[in-house]
């Protein structure tokens, strides 16, 4: 079935194509005594208007209705205390981002400690922990599997600390037309930057710039034009193109300049090793330029693991943090395919990605071209008009590779100061969900904004509305993402990245495809996966089902590292299911899900697992099984 689907012309309507193929698979393989087949999202939408559908939604229902796309939230001074963080978790944060560009060790310690003290529905279920029911009827226990993402500072270039900035919140004013000298000497390094003399922490600044080039400060808030290079080779004289305020340690971008920044700074190395002692689940690698940078970070983590094992701070064989490569430069876009292949996931970091732009480089061709990546690969700059197009291309590529993708930066930025977002921000989040993003991310809105809890709640509601719409009225985006993955797997096989003889991967992929078809055919409330390494939940997620995937894991690390994947809700059950007889594991999983309100009596569920059986003659065989059940 899959090869036929892959070989079909892309000019066909992808929605009807997938509906035809998956529906036939479902009908032939999973027949039942029921005479009428329930409507599934493989079908074309019924002729209801979107407005009538929106009126039919009940947002006040207490029934568990989880969002499929996840929220990554940066935790900072306004959200790090336990009571606020508990509300942030309750409202939908699945992954806590720690921004190591700003956070101190003490702040990280507090945030990690408080996150692990939070309670939530998606929690570690063990037989020796008592389930507590709150006044709202929500089940909680003492631990949770919210994941932690360590976001490195990266080999970026930054300003120094401003003079007399004791609070860390002071700014200086730069006037348009003023002369500003950029220095790399130690005499202005710590607290010596003023409006006419700024410290820049890149020693080769003067050698990579020339008169006429631009220097962008604080995400382009201040634009400087280079007028002269200092004769001492440690300073660059510039003129300010515009007026504005600057804060301490603001980021610096050098559009068009050739730099030799490493994949990791010395600070990154210290931070990554420290993060591993705190058991972080992901490392977001900032300013990745190429695939070699990803390999370098992974090799470094392997070295750290060996050292930490000797120090008793790491378990032998424990999974390393997964690497999420941040795409935020022209170089990264040019090497995107190779970076994606080496990475465990991608973050579309739209802030820096959209900073390095010159208006005079734009042309009718670059704005009108359909092949966005071809233009971006060949252009020395990234036109800001193309950032959204690049986002869509990268999300689609991640869907095809079956790897999680996070869309980040300025998603609900106005809520840092206001209790409600702008309509444009709502549209931005909604369209990221339509594009196929596994996660959307909040930065300053939750780290230092006035309304961190309300921001999470609002994003959750936007995601819910977008997913309801794509499920019931416009299923095209999910079907297209599913088709991209099927095509992507076939292309990887052709390129030799997946061998035909790799039985485990091909069997698991077939099982994942059939599972999604069965869930849609039977109108299942959930897909339940019993997993030890997380392979099956990831594959099932790649086929974009419209129902939650409950991943029952016997390993906490595996559970947390599933959190970024769309639709996957990991539940850590320790050895409980392993010690349960094989024939009863599915029943026990259903009992867990029902106990926590994830499914209800009468719901259809699809239970998937890999099992092994041994005959009396000693022959052992592994089986991939799928069962359809009704919750008693």
Instruction: Please provide the DSSP assignment of 199-244 as one string.
Output: EBS-TTHHHH--TT-EEEETTTTEEEEEEEE-TTSSEEEEEESS-E
Domain spanning 2-46+477-630: CATH superfamily: Pyruvate kinase, C-terminal domain (3.40.1380.20)
Length of the chain: 632
How many Å apart are CA 333 and CA 136, to the nearest integer?
Answer: 47
- Flag the least confident range among 256-270, 411-425, 457-471, 594-608: 256-270
Torsion angle, alpha carbons of 396, 397, 403, 409, to 10: -70
Q: Could you tell me the pLDDT band of residue 505, with boundaries at 50, 70 and 90?
A: low
The token pair that represents 171 in the structure block: 């700014």
Residue 522 has pLDDT above 80, yes or no: yes
- Flag the least confident range among 31-35, 262-266, 311-315, 477-481: 31-35
- Flag the least confident range among 52-56, 317-321, 357-361: 357-361
How many Å apart are CA 74 and CA 96, to the nearest integer?
Answer: 6
> Any idea which residues carry the catalytic annotation?
97, 158, 326, 409
pLDDT value, residue 165:
75
- For a pLDDT cut of 90, what percent of the chain falls above it? 56
How many Å apart are CA 125 and CA 103, to the nearest integer?
Answer: 32
pLDDT digits (tens, 9 = 90+) for 80-109: 999 999 999 999 999 999 999 889 999 999
> Chain centroid to CA 103: how far?
20
For residue 237, count CB atoms less than 10 angstroms from its CB and return exposed for 0-12, middle for 13-18, buried for 19 or more.
middle
Residue 46 has pLDDT above 80, yes or no: no
pLDDT value, residue 441:
98
- Flag the least confident range among 5-14, 59-68, 206-215: 5-14
How many Å apart are CA 313 and CA 277, to the nearest integer?
Answer: 6
Residues 117, 224: contact at Cβ < 8 Å? Answer: no
pLDDT value, residue 300:
98
Q: Which CATH number fits domain 157-253: 3.40.50.1000, 2.40.33.10, 3.30.930.10, 3.10.180.10?
A: 2.40.33.10
Mean per-residue pLDDT of the chain: 81
Cβ of 444: how many Cβ atoms within 10 Å? 17
pLDDT digits (tens, 9 = 90+) for 402-460: 999 999 999 999 999 999 999 999 999 999 999 999 999 999 999 999 999 999 999 99
Cβ of 247: how many Cβ atoms within 10 Å? 17
For residue 214, count CB atoms less than 10 angstroms from its CB and return exposed for 0-12, middle for 13-18, buried for 19 or more.
buried
CA distances from 152 to 28, 225, 264, 295 (A): 50, 29, 9, 16
- Flag the least confident range among 107-116, 213-222, 483-492: 483-492
pLDDT value, residue 378:
45
DSSP state at residue 63: S
Q: Could you tell me the pLDDT band of residue 168, with boundaries at 50, 70 and 90?
A: low
- Flag the least confident range among 114-118, 190-194, 285-289, 419-423: 190-194
pLDDT value, residue 615:
64
Task: Of 219, 151, 160, 146, give the one whose Cα is nearest residue 188.
Answer: 160
Q: Could you tell me the pLDDT band of residue 380, with boundaries at 50, 70 and 90?
A: very low
Q: Which residues of 534-571 are buried (b: 16+ CB within 10 A; e: fewer)?
A: bbbbbbbbbbbbbbbbbbbbbbbbbbbbbbbbbbbbbb
- Flag the least confident range among 119-123, 501-505, 522-526, 528-532: 501-505
Domain edges within the chain: 2-46+477-630, 147-154+264-464, 157-253
The token pair that represents 270 in the structure block: 């210290």
The dihedral through the CA atoms of 580, 582, 587, 592 has a sign that is positive
Residue 118 has pLDDT above 60, yes or no: yes
Say which CATH topology domain 147-154+264-464 has: TIM Barrel (3.20.20)
Half-sphere exposure of 584 (CA within 13 A, CB side): 8
- For a pLDDT cut of 70, what percent of the chain falls above it? 77
pLDDT value, residue 309:
97
Mean pLDDT for the stretch of residues 510-521: 93
Task: Of 224, 226, 234, 239, give the one whose Cα is nearest residue 179.
Answer: 239
Mean pLDDT for the stretch of residues 592-599: 88
In a 3-state reduction of DSSP, which class is residue 332? helix
How many Å apart are CA 264 and CA 259, to the nearest integer?
Answer: 14
Residue 557 has pLDDT above 60, yes or no: yes
Q: Which helix (H) or strand (E) holds 137?
A: none
Half-sphere exposure of 199 (CA within 13 A, CB side): 16
């Amino acid at each position: 079935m899959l090869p036929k689907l892959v070989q079909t012309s892309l000019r066909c309507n992808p929605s009807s194509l997938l509906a035809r193929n998956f529906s036939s698979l479902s009908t032939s393989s999973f027949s039942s005594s029921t005479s009428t087949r329930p409507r599934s999202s493989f079908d074309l939408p019924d002729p209801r208007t979107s407005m009538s559908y929106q009126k039919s939604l009940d947002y006040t229902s207490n029934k568990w209705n989880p969002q499929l796309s996840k929220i990554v939230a940066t935790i900072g001074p306004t959200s790090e205390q336990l009571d606020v963080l508990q509300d942030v978790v309750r409202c939908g944060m699945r992954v806590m981002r720690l921004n190591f560009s700003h956070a101190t060790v003490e702040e990280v310690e507090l945030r990690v400690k408080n996150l692990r003290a939070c309670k939530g529905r998606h929690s570690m279920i063990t037989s020796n922990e008592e389930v507590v029911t709150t006044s709202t009827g929500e089940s909680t226990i003492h631990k949770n599997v919210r994941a932690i993402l360590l976001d490195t500072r990266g080999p970026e270039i930054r300003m120094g600390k401003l003079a007399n900035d004791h609070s860390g919140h002071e700014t200086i004013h730069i006037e348009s037309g003023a002369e500003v000298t950029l220095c790399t000497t130690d005499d202005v390094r710590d607290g010596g930057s003023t409006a006419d003399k700024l410290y820049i922490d890149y020693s080769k600044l003067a050698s990579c710039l020339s008169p006429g080039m631009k220097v962008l400060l604080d995400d382009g808030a201040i634009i400087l034009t280079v007028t002269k290079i200092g004769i001492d080779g440690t300073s660059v004289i510039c003129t300010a193109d515009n007026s504005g305020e600057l804060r301490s340690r603001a980021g610096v971008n050098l559009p068009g300049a050739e730099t030799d920044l490493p994949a990791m700074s010395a600070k990154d190395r210290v931070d990554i090793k420290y993060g591993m002692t705190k058991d972080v689940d992901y490392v977001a690698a900032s300013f990745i330029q190429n695939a070699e940078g990803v390999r370098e970070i992974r090799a470094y983590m392997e070295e750290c693991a060996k050292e930490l094992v000797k120090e008793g701070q790491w378990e032998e064989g424990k999974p390393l943090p997964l690497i999420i490569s941040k795409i935020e430069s022209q170089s990264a876009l040019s090497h995107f395919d190779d970076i994606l292949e080496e990475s465990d996931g991608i973050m579309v970091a739209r802030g820096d990605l959209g900073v390095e732009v010159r208006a005079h480089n734009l042309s009718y061709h670059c704005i009108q071209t359909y092949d966005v990546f071809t233009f971006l690969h060949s252009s020395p700059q990234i036109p800001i008009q193309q950032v959204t197009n690049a986002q869509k291309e990268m999300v689609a590529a991640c869907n095809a590779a079956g790897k999680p993708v996070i869309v980040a930066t300025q998603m609900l930025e106005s809520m840092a100061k206001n209790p409600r977002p702008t309509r444009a921000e709502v549209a931005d989040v909604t369209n990221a969900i339509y594009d196929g993003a596994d996660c959307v991310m909040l930065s300053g809105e939750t780290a230092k904004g006035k309304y961190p809890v309300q921001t999470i709640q609002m994003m959750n509601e936007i995601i819910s509305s977008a997913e309801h719409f794509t499920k019931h009225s416009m299923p095209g985006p999910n079907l297209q993402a599913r088709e991209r993955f099927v095509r992507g797997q076939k292309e990887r096989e052709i390129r030799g990245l997946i061998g035909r003889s790799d039985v485990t991967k091909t069997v698991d992929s077939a099982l994942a495809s059939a599972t999604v078809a069965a869930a849609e055919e039977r109108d299942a409330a959930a897909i339940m996966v019993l997993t030890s390494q997380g392979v099956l939940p990831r594959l099932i997620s790649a086929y974009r089902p419209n129902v939650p995937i409950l991943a029952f894991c016997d390993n906490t690390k595996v559970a947390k590292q599933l959190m970024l994947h769309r639709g996957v809700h990991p539940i850590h059950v320790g050895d409980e299911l392993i010690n349960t007889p094989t024939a009863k594991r599915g029943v026990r999983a259903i009992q867990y899900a029902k106990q926590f309100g994830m499914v209800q009596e009468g719901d259809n569920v699809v239970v998937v697992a890999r099992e092994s059986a041994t005959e009396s003659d000693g022959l052992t065989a592994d089986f991939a099984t799928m069962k359809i059940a009704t919750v008693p």
